[in-house]
Amino acid sequence: MPPSVPSDHHAASAVATPDVAPGLRFDNAFLRELPGDPETAPRPRRVDAAWARAAPTPVPAPRLLAHSCEVASELGFTAGQVEAPGFAAVFAGNARLPGMDPYATNYGGHQFGHWAGQLGDGRAITLGEAIVADGERRELQLKGAGLTAFSRTADGRAVLRSSLREFLCSEAMHHLGIPTTRALSLVATGEDVVRDLLYDGHPAPEPGAIVCRVAPSFIRFGHFELPYARGDVDLLRQLAEFCIWRDFPHLLGARAGTPLATLRAQGAFDEALHAAWFAEVCERTARMVAGWMRVGFVHGVLNTDNMSILGLTIDYGPYGWIDDYDPDWTPNTTDAQGRRYRFGWQPKVAHWNLMRLAQALSPLFTDPALLQAGLDRYAAAYAAADRAAIAGKLGLAACGDEDAALMRDLHVLLQAAEVDMTLFFCGLADVEPVPGAPFDALPEALQAAFYDPAKAQAHAPAFAAWLQRWSTRTGEDVRPAEARRARMGRANPRYVLRNYLAQQAIERATAGDEAGIGELLEVLRRPYDDQPGREAFAQRRPAWAKDRAGCSMLSCSS
């Protein structure tokens, strides 16, 4: 039997059934090494510390809807343990494994370009920091588990709609090879949560759900911005030193593994170390954003509090995938006017966010040139990753200036002709280049990528001219055709989590048919492979989904 709901509505049981515990060892360093708030109640308040206690609020009927077998295995859970009733109880917040010590962290952030003050984990509660079999650290965090000190006027809960989207996209991004937080489980709570889906004054009850997300660290840019804004240099320094010690131990060289207090006493955290750390944050961020651009992912709400210090994609809210190529598209209804977070601006916004982080870290530096060097590293790393992506997508051995221009010209055509980005590049791999020979018609392999037949016909000559240039360029690479196709196959996914696919799974699950979650997850586990029988998941967006809520633009509502 699953553990019963504790009588204290603000604290989950500290005991889990034996069939659940995988023998995880918890080392909750964030609590141990950083100052916490003395108050333990979930009352919304200003917190002048790094964290505050936050026990998950129990739910009436936890039920496992889906889980990631890879993440469960990494954490040491067997298939039988995952299926045990107690697993859902633990990852709904109704019970705890030994060593779990829940808390919420404190951070601020710039939202849509404006300083927002204290934000914090308003509906995310970290259960603890688990040490897995290889010695690596994995923070287990419930999203939608109830009130914390940072919930402000909200309820700390999440709905099935948003939780399912986060669960699926976390795993989809991992299998695409893009740095991301992971998702262990998706649990239905058995209670409704009221949300205003479109922010149009029509709130309605929706099924509640909780996702357990997993990452080595959930520290964000905003963790450093808040103490900087408050003039709390001591806390800022503590956070930076802790982050380097726990999350970037390789920067310590032979001193990795030395207790944090000892390193501080030895004066290990000098300006050079801080500079190396910031530069690596910049480089990781560049590689992540270049990955988004390669596959057509739009985060949708790139506030500084949604930027991971590890360069992981974090906080899957109103995200979306480019269907017809449009660099000005944003999936976020809140961003519909300014389009600050549109697809084509993501590299610029990430740089702007890094500038805010540099500003927050400036009290730790006497030489601002060291921070500028980190920002320069972002630019160089992004340019390199972008060139590598262009070479892969076009099937080239390397990308020079002319190849970058070739890709820019293609982007102009894709936008003008309303062409599906994913399908076009998949089809391009099946086009046989014949250097010097003209293309008399649009190749059959590309025809399925066009949304408007009239635009396809009108732009066919321009595409033919572009294809001739591409054919000539591929002919300059002395490589077998099979090697070209293989490289393109590794860079161009066939299966991405289009919004309409996620919405179909949401609607099925809301109606009681949860099989769609597993079906879609299984497809997304092999995004670069041909999957016979699953062609329906690799088609362009249907006409009915173009302007439908949840299938095109979404709000931040959760």
**405 and 282 in a common domain:** no
**277 and 164 in a common domain:** no
Model confidence over 363-396: pLDDT tens digits? 999 999 999 999 999 999 999 999 999 999 999 9
Domain C-terminal end among 427, 442, 476:
476
Nearest in space to 423 (alpha carbons), one of 390, 439, 445: 445
Domain residues for 50? 25-217
> How much is the pLDDT for 10?
43
Q: Which residues pair with 303 in a beta bridge?
A: none
Tracing tokens 């972002």 back to the chain, one arrives at 378
- Residue 467 inside a domain? The answer is yes
> How much is the pLDDT for 4?
32
- DSSP string over 175-205: HHT--B-EEEEEEEEEEEEEE-TTSSS--EE
**465 and 362 in a common domain:** no
The one-letter code for the residue type at 176 is L
Q: How far apart are CA 19 and CA 15, in angstroms?
A: 12
Q: Is the pLDDT of residue 16 over 80?
A: no
- Residue 260 inside a domain? The answer is yes
**For the chain, what percent of residues have pLDDT higher than 90?**
88
> How much is the pLDDT for 441?
87
Q: How far apart are CA 214 and CA 137, in angstroms?
A: 10
Among the ranges given (299-303, 321-325, 440-444, 532-536), the one the predictor scored with the smallest mean pLDDT: 440-444
- DSSP string over 506-555: HHHHHTT-THHHHHHHHHHTSTTS--TT-GGGGSPPPGGGSSSTTTS-B-
- Residue 18 inside a domain? The answer is no
Q: Is 122 within 8 Å of 150 (Cβ atoms)?
A: yes
Chain centroid to Cα 53, Å, comes to: 25
- Residue 38 inside a domain? The answer is yes
Q: Is the pLDDT of residue 179 over 70?
A: yes
List Cα–Cα distances, 530 to 247, 494, 537, in angstroms.
37, 8, 11
Domain C-terminal end among 391, 420, 452:
391
* Total count of domains within the chain: 4
User: Would you please indicate which residues are annotated as catalytic (active-site) residues?
Assistant: 305
pLDDT bin (cut points 50, 70, 90) of residue 18 is low
Q: Is 287 exposed, middle or buried (0-12, 13-18, 19+ CB in 10 A)?
A: middle
Model confidence over 499-521: pLDDT tens digits? 999 999 999 999 999 999 999 99
pLDDT bin (cut points 50, 70, 90) of residue 13 is low
- The encoded tokens of residue 420 equal 């599906």
pLDDT bin (cut points 50, 70, 90) of residue 161 is very high
> How much is the pLDDT for 551?
86
Residues 148, 152, 153, CA angle at the centre, nearest 5°? 115
Longest dimension (CA), the chain: 77
> How much is the pLDDT for 206?
93
> How much is the pLDDT for 197?
74
Model confidence over 292-346: pLDDT tens digits? 999 999 999 999 999 999 999 999 999 999 999 999 999 999 999 999 999 999 9
**What is the arithmetic mean of pLDDT over 217-237?**
98
Number of H helices, E strands in the chain: 18, 12
Using DSSP, state whether 132 is helix, strand or coil. Answer: coil
- Residue 31 inside a domain? The answer is yes
- The encoded tokens of residue 194 equal 């009221």
Q: Is 217 within 8 Å of 223 (Cβ atoms)?
A: no
List Cα–Cα distances, 329 to 260, 321, 341, 348, in angstroms.
45, 10, 9, 15
Q: How far apart are CA 176 and CA 155, in angstroms?
A: 34
**What is the arithmetic mean of pLDDT over 32-54?**
97
**521 and 407 in a common domain:** no
- The encoded tokens of residue 434 equal 């014949």
Q: How far apart are CA 133 and CA 246, in angstroms?
A: 17
**339 and 442 in a common domain:** no
Q: Is the pLDDT of residue 25 over 60?
A: yes
How many Cα atoms occupy the beta-carbon half-sphere of 158 within 13 Å?
A: 30
**What is the arithmetic mean of pLDDT over 23-39?**
95
**519 and 417 in a common domain:** no
Domain C-terminal end among 337, 370, 391:
391
pLDDT bin (cut points 50, 70, 90) of residue 24 is confident
pLDDT bin (cut points 50, 70, 90) of residue 15 is low
On average, the pLDDT of the chain sits at: 94
> How much is the pLDDT for 555?
75
- Residue 19 inside a domain? The answer is no
3-state secondary structure 457-470: HHHHHHHHHHHHHH
**508 and 434 in a common domain:** no
Q: What angle in degrees, to the nearest 10, is found between the helix axes of 346-361 and 368-394?
A: 160
> Around Cβ 459, how many Cβ atoms within 10 Å?
20
Tracing tokens 């588990």 back to the chain, one arrives at 145
**What is the arithmetic mean of pLDDT over 143-167?**
96
Number of residues in the chain:
558
> How much is the pLDDT for 8?
40
pLDDT bin (cut points 50, 70, 90) of residue 547 is confident
pLDDT bin (cut points 50, 70, 90) of residue 32 is very high
Among the ranges given (119-128, 194-203, 491-500, 504-513), the one the predictor scored with the smallest mean pLDDT: 194-203
**For the chain, what percent of residues have pLDDT higher than 70?**
96
**140 and 117 in a common domain:** yes
Nearest in space to 232 (alpha carbons), one of 52, 46, 366: 46
**340 and 207 in a common domain:** no
Using DSSP, state whether 208 is helix, strand or coil. Answer: strand
Name the pTM for this structure: 0.95
Q: Is 76 within 8 Å of 132 (Cβ atoms)?
A: yes
**357 and 444 in a common domain:** no
**513 and 402 in a common domain:** no
- The encoded tokens of residue 269 equal 């955290």
Residues 6+ apart with CB under 8 A from 542: 500
